[in-house]
Structure 1
Amino acid sequence: MKYIIGILFVISSFTINAQIRSLGSGVGGFNQGINRLDTISNDEINVKLSGKTKFTDYKIISFKKDTSYIDTTLTIRKDYKFNFRRKDNFELLAFQNQGQTFNNLGYNFRNISQFPDIGFTGKQFNYMQIEDIDYYRVPTPTTVIMYRTGQEQGQVLDALFTFNLSKRFNLSFAYRGLRSLGQYRRSLSSSGNFRSTLTYSTPKDQYRIRAQVTTQDFVNQENGGLTTQALENFLTNDPNFEDRGRLDVNLTDSESNLEGIRVYADHNFKLFSSKDTTNTKNFTNLKVGHILHYESKEYRFGQSSLDTDFFGDASKSSGGIDERVDYNLINNQGYLEFNSKYILGKFKVKANYTTVNYGYDTIHNGNILVNRSRLKGNAISLGADWNGRIKNFKVNASANLTPGSGYLAGNHFSGEAMYKKDSLFTVKGSLLLTSKAPRFNTLLFQSVYNDYNWDNNFTNIDTRNIGFSFNSKWGNASLDFTNIEDYVYFDSDNTPKQFDESITYLKVKVSKEFKFFKNFAFDNTLMYQNVSSGNAVFRVPEFVTRNTLYYTGEWFRGKPILVQIGGTFNFFTKYKANAFNPIVNEFTVQNDTEIGFPSVDVFFNARVKRTRIFFKIDNITSSFLSTRNYFSAPNYPYRDMSIRFGLVWNWFI
């Protein structure tokens, strides 16, 4: 695949990546960077610039080609997103150390990829997908830096630099490095996300290209949770173990690592066009294009010595292990795109040729007969996209059909209709119908440990989702109804199974902020969930809530500083949350332990010019509890009270 890696600007990007990584030697290893540059609507922008530039000149273009602007305001949404993922974690339950995995408090089935992935989902919460990468257009070089302290020792630093060589040629480079020791033994997290993008168009916009290159790595020490005795010491709040490093853990020398590299390029040539954009002609802006998507991932699990007490019998009696599995996907798409008055917008027809290769180079276990060491496949798929608009009403639809019986066979249809009434409200309905193979690590897995070897022939998973959203100045609400057939999960014996019944999942979420006494606000988000069938294998808490009471005010003469002071109450009802298995890095069904607890975080945030400063005390309620009952997963305690701070800094040269 050297010819693929050599295209575009990959060589130069990797050179810059290597230079950045060499500066951060504390970041170990090789994961929906700066995911969104904190973008909001035009009337909330606070970028003050001199000269002829305006804030609207500093554009951020999403993967779906929606445009927003760089934002330096301080809002409560910024507090929710000030974490190492740069995303709101409302539907996720974090483990004690940043950079570790998350348990799910809710699920989103509105966006599902067309083809199956490698799996090991416990390591992919911070893996940046194609859709997570933004593109830019800026009149002057622009930099954004985020810094945040870690747990015990360490920090996370996320830096972006973007500039335009001309009005039509933009480059961006970004890197996120994380290293955090954690409060418990063997909980070190270390990761790196490098991203680079390119956008270019010819003077008359006849040829256009956008491309991205990412390299990502995630290293975690795996401790397997607390031992039985350590768990008792934690629950009873034994004063001898207030230093969490004194608590024993199940694994003392295990480590997991996920590495990924991606090259993505979308370029097209306009065969003929018209300056008339009102569809007075039958067909305009006819383009022929090509998309290349190359993705490679490798998962590794290593131990310096076997631990048969935790993982069971092994095919050898001593020594360490270093087990590796890799995954490669190459997708080439050719398309023809045009505008037409007959379809009220833009239409694209497309054809894909896709190859996939997953598996092992060596046999890890000679005692267990696994018929295959690799899963390979290739397929041709056909599809179309439609983007239509009538005044304030928009419709988007996408369809792909991949015939055959291999690992890539299936179908994928998504559609949404949206109506926007000025700035008053927006109503959106969405539909998703998809059928695809399960993730590859549920189909084939090998290990020295005898219980972790399987070769399955599961059928495709069929998912149907209907969603509705309402956003307005009076509040926001969303409803999702999902039906899943042939759902694949990890059972309590840590092996993958296919559920032979239907799963019916309802999720309703509402949010509203109340403002009072001029400087005070009360922001609320409530989520209700119900699994009417299939709750034996698909489990979520019934209620999840987040309530934030805070004060916002400008201080001192001349109002040089804006402060935000408040507290956030988080709570979810008790449910039998999935357990975490470190060797497969997946969450498994368990039937013994219920978790669910309240927590309160206190924060003091401030903005000075273009710098936002964040100071937070996590889980302050833990210091008042006589019994410690807060867990992220069975045997994995949630974090104790901890103090962290950081900042986000913008430069506009």
Structure 2
Amino acid sequence: MEFKSWNLRTTPFACIPTGYLCHYFLPIFFLFLGPTTFAQEDSIPARQSVDTSLVQKKKRRLDTRDPASKSQPITIKDYKIISYKTDTIYLDTTLTIQKEYKYNYLRRDDFELMPFANVGQPYNKLGVDLRSVQLYPALGAAALNYNYLEVRDIDYYNVATPMTDLFFKTTFEEGQLLDAMLTFNTSQRLNFSLAYKGFRSLGKYLSDQAESGNFRTTTNYVTKNGRYRIRAHIAAQDIETQANGGLTNKEEQFESGDPSFNDRKKIDIRFNDADNKILGKRYYFDHFYKVFKKEKDSSRVERTSLGFGHVFNYETKYYTFGQTQQSDYFGDRLVPAIDDKAQLKAMYNEVDAEFYNETLGRLRGNISVYNYNYFFNSILITEDGSRIPSRLKGEEIAVGANYEKRIRGFALEGEFKYNLSGELGGNLFNASAGYQLNDRHRVSASAHASARMPNFNYLLYQSDYVNYNWSNLGVFEKEQVYGLQFNLDSDIWGDLTVDYTTVDNYSYFGADPENRVAEGVENSIVRPYQEGDVLTHTKVTYKKEFRLGGFALNNTVMYQNVSQANDVLNLPQLVTRNTLYFSSDVFKKAMYLQTGVTFKYFTAYTMDAYNPLLGEFYIQNEEKLGGYPMLDFFINAKIQQTRIYLKAEHFNSGFNQTKEYYSAPNYPYRDFVIRFGLVWNFFS
């Protein structure tokens, strides 16, 4: 196949250079910290979920016009974190086993993920949630997007005094990981926050370096009468990884356990000149005004209100793959040096109206417009004269509604969106009902239905490699997902979740049998496909902790079953994580200590392979991996508002002579390593 490349004039893509942010922002950030106090009075009991002790002995000082507020002491409950869905929680400075599970690069529980050897590299999947969370496609390169903060990942704050959160952890070889956040209120109703998460890690293998920067700043404001509110954020993010293509002689140099290769940099890798990069910039705000509001006579509890709101989101994002020399691993090339670049500019506007009544509940209707421009810098014409366009550009219009109601122990929620015009969107429906049986038991059930196009890189992609060029808009159909979920949360019996999902037109990447290179030469030539038959995915997750004195055994077990005509969704049947640990106050309650061992295991399965050109995983049905235990030993401690973490990761890797632990075919999981760090809260 022969291609001609025509260059087109495109608008340059601009983004805040987060390298400069790291250089200039952090010194200024620490100047803001000012004097700090650490006067938390009581150490934290083992099972206490929220620390309600005094943060400072001085009185609150935000509202000078309210004498009553001055007389009240400040507690941890005065430091509020507000999610994208406006759910509010308090800052939690306790030390729990859940904090241990979230003390990682992503800062969330990675039970269903399998990390690569280095921090910041891709994660393979051990479990999936096939339900759509948005109506429109994303850019792609999904394997590299786990640390990319979306709109729903940004938190807002309301604090009694300036508060700082510092997260630090060592990485592999050269580099560190730091996530620093400062938030402060100028009044009880206006808050600002600044945050930057930056890291660099050289890695144990050659050409395995990774680094990233995530800058975000937020504000939120509510008027004194509560009629108007606004919240906004700006995010600038970049993720850069070297792509070494995995090991080329794994049997002799890795699996054999030959001590000559204990220094992993001696092991042969596929590439030493390839890298990926994701860079994005986003401006977001939403505001709401109540034109009518009625409250109860003797209190300020709202009875009825009517209001109108507006949501705006503009984001530019690009993904690149660069390589100085062509490799047969990806097939023939068009030019000597590879420089692939996919770009997406998207703007979203939504106008909504909300009616609230204490008896009837809260109902919101909306209409939205989504403009997108996904493009490359050339048009490609194949040998047979077919044309691969340079862009997908259009406008989508949708209507939707949300409803929620609390009736004593019942909680009802519903969400609906339907696309009126456009080629990408479809529909989205979510409904849930929950009931609080008593203080110790809660049940809930939910249903989901959605239809939308797969990500943009399935629909259109251009590369300097001949076999990585396709246009599927008009060929691919919308993925249709239907799901049911049941939850039982019990302090006595544990937490049980049953999830059943069916998918029609499931999209995936797989090897291209028609474009293989020379016989005997290993290659990774993949293309997007859609499964013609319906597949079903069943997932059952059970969580339960057993306690005896200071000892505890925390268990999470997940069972999965996929019913499919062809093997297009490969997952382990069983994943388990079990932690045996001990907790106690020590040194006359000056320190709270937790120490234990975590065991994680998943059954062997045909684990997805990784394609560094696309930044995506693709199915392979030839090599089974997994079936090995991973043991971590940890010692964690809490002193006032500081949590200290020390972990020996995968310490059982040296028990066996042979090494057969992988995160993906040709990509080993990490060897035994000791890492440490801390999370520190300052209150000014």
Please give the alpha-carbon distance, in whole angstroms, between the structure 2 residues aligned to 1:64 and 1:438: 25
| One of 412, 421, 440 as aligned partner of 2:456 | 440
Q: Give the match's secondary structure for 1:544.
A: strand
Aligned partner of residue 48 in structure 1, secondary structure = strand
Q: Contact between 1:365 and 1:450, CA under 8 Å: does it hold in 2?
A: no
Report the Cα offset of residue 216 of structure 1.
1.1
Deviations 1:454-508 (A, max 9, x none): 1112010001111111112121110100000001100123100010001100000
Q: Show the 5 A alignment for 1:197-276.
A: 197-227=218-248, 229-276=249-296
Distance 1:111 1:521, change over 3 A: farther
Provide the rounded CA distance (Å) in 1 between the counterparts of 2:21 and 2:284. Answer: 22
Contact 2:50 2:94 in 1 (8 A): no
- Distance change in 2, residues 1:362/1:200 (3 Å): same
Aligned-partner SS, 1:100: coil
Q: Is the 8 A contact 1:365 1:448 kept in 2?
A: no
Match of 1:513 in 2: 545
Where does residue 397 of structure 1 map in the other structure?
414
Could you tell me how far apart the structure 2 residues matched to 1:401 and 1:295 are?
22
Q: 2:127 aligns with which of 71, 91, 106?
A: 106
Q: 1:85 corresponds to which residue? A: 106
Q: Aligned letter for 1:484?
A: V
Cα 1:346–1:233 change in 2 (3 A) is same
Cα displacement (A) at 1:284: 2.2
Which letter maps to 2:559?
Y
Distance in 2, Cα, partners of 1:46 & 1:500: 58
- 1:97-142 per-residue CA deviation (whole Å, 9 max, x = no partner) reads 0111100000123552111111110111111111111111001000
Give CA deviations for 1:53-90 in whole Å, capped at 9, x if unaligned: 12211111111111111111111111100001100000
The question of 1:148 aligning with 2:179 is answered no
Question: What code does the residue aligned with 1:268 have?
Answer: F
Q: 1:633 Cα shift?
A: 0.2
1:280 Cα deviation (Å)?
Answer: 14
Shift of residue 22, structure 1, vs aligned partner:
4.0
- Deviation digits for residues 484-534 of structure 1 (CA, Å, limit 9, x no counterpart): 000110012310001000110000000111111x11111110000000225
Partner of 1:53: helix, strand, or coil?
strand
Taking the aligned partners of 1:466 and 1:135, their CA distance within structure 2 comes to 31
Q: Does 1:640 align with 2:660?
A: no
Alignment of 1:315 onto 2:315? no
Residue 356 of structure 1 corresponds to which residue in structure 2?
372
Q: Which amino acid aligns with 1:498?
A: Q
* Aligned residue identity for 1:64: K
The CA deviation at 1:321 is 2.2
Find 1:497's aligned residue among 529, 535, 542.
Answer: 529
- Please tell me whether residue 177 in structure 1 is matched to residue 198 in structure 2: yes
Specify which of 574, 583, 607 is matched with residue 577 of structure 1. Answer: 607
Question: 1:112/1:92 Cα in 2 relative to 1: closer, same or farther (>3 Å)?
Answer: same
Whether contact under 8 Å (1:550, 1:565) holds in the other structure is: yes
Report how far residue 21 of structure 1 moved. Answer: 4.3
User: Could you tell me how far apart the structure 2 residues matched to 1:41 and 1:174 are?
Assistant: 28
Return the offset for 1:385.
0.6
Alignment correspondent of 1:380: 397
**1:575-618 deviation digits (Å, cap 9, x = unpaired):** 00100000001111112111112110111111111111000011
1:170-226 C-alpha deviation (Å, 9 max, x unpaired): 011111001001111111010011111110122212221011111111000000100
Task: Confirm whether residue 340 of structure 1 aligns to residue 345 of structure 2.
Answer: no
Identify the range of structure 1 (85-94 vs 535-544) with the bigger mean alpha-carbon deviation: 535-544
Q: Which residue of 1 aligns with 2:143?
A: 122
Bigger mean CA offset, 375-384 vs 14-23:
14-23
In structure 1, C-alpha distance between the alignment counterparts of 2:128 and 2:428, rounded to whole Å: 19
Secondary structure, in 3 states, of the residue corresponding to 2:638?
A: strand
Contact persistence 2:237–2:279 (CA under 8 A): yes
Residue 48 in 1 paired to residue 80 in 2?
Answer: no
Equivalent position of 2:317 in the other structure = 297
Query: What's 1:553 paired with?
Result: 584
Distance 1:423 1:18, change over 3 A: farther
SS across alignment from 1:274: strand
- Kept after mapping to 2: 8 A contact 1:216/1:260: yes
SS class of match (1:256): strand
Q: In 2, distance between residues paired with 1:361 and 1:472?
A: 55
Pick closer, same or farther for the CA change 1:16–1:102 going to 2, 3 Å. Answer: closer
Instruction: Give the 3 Å change call, closer, same or farther, for CA 511–282 of structure 1 in structure 2.
Output: closer
Q: TM-score, normalised on structure 2?
A: 0.87
Q: 1:625 to 1:645 in 2, by over 3 A?
A: same
Q: Deviations over 1:283-329 (max 9, x none)?
A: 8221111100112210011112222x21111123x3x2222110111
Q: Hey, what's the Cα distance between the residues in 2 that align with 1:451 and 1:16? A: 34
For 1:432 and 1:215, the matched residues in 2 are separated by 32
Matched-pair contact (CA < 8 Å) for 1:266–1:292: yes
User: Partner residue of 2:439?
Assistant: 423
Letter in 1 for 2:606: K
Distance (Å, rounded) in 1 between the aligned partners of 2:17 and 2:468: 39
Inter-partner Cα distance in structure 2 for 1:67 and 1:141: 18
Percent of aligned pairs sharing the same letter: 40
Residue 406 in structure 1 maps to residue 428 in structure 2: no
User: Are 2:414 and 2:430, in contact at CA under 8 Å, matched by a contact in 1?
Assistant: yes
Q: Following the alignment from structure 2 to structure 1, what is the Cα–Cα distance between the partners of residues 528 and 399?
A: 31
Give, in angstroms, the shift of residue 404 of structure 1.
Answer: 3.6
Contact 2:131/2:450 (8 A) holds in 1: no
The 8 Å contact of residues 346 and 387 in structure 1, kept in 2 or not, is answered as yes
Structure of greater relative contact order (alpha carbons < 8 Å, 6+ residues apart): 2
Q: Match for 2:648: what amino acid? A: I
Query: CA 1:281 to 1:78, structure 2 compared with 1: closer, same or farther past 3 Å?
Result: closer
User: 1:131 is paired with a residue of what secondary structure?
Assistant: helix
How many residue pairs match? The answer is 619
- For the Cα contact (< 8 Å) 1:370–1:454, is it kept in 2? no
Query: What residue ranges of structure 2 are gaps of 5+ in the alignment?
Result: 1-14, 28-46, 59-72, 513-525
CA contact (8 A) 2:414 2:432 kept: yes
Measured after TM superposition, the shift of residue 20 of structure 1 is 3.5
Alignment-mate amino acid for residue 564 of structure 1: Q
Other structure's SS at 2:433 match: strand
How far apart are the structure 2 equivalents of 1:55 and 1:278? 29
Residues 84 and 46 (structure 1), Cα distance of their counterparts in 2 relative to 1, 3 Å cut: farther
Residue type at the aligned position of 2:259: P
SS at match of 1:203: coil
* Residue type at the aligned position of 2:511: S
**In structure 2, distance between residues paired with 1:86 and 1:280:** 38
Match of 1:33 in 2: none
Q: Work out whether 1:468 is the aligned partner of 2:486.
A: yes
CA separation of 1:178 and 1:467: change in aligned 2, threshold 3 A: same
Residue 651 (1) aligns with residue 682 (2): yes
Per-residue CA distance 1:425-455 (angstroms, 9 max, x = gap): 2211111100001100011111111111111
Deviation at 1:15, TM superposition (A): 10
**CA spacing shift, 1:587–1:286, aligned 2, 3 Å:** same
- CA 1:512–1:535: 2 relative to 1, 3 Å: farther
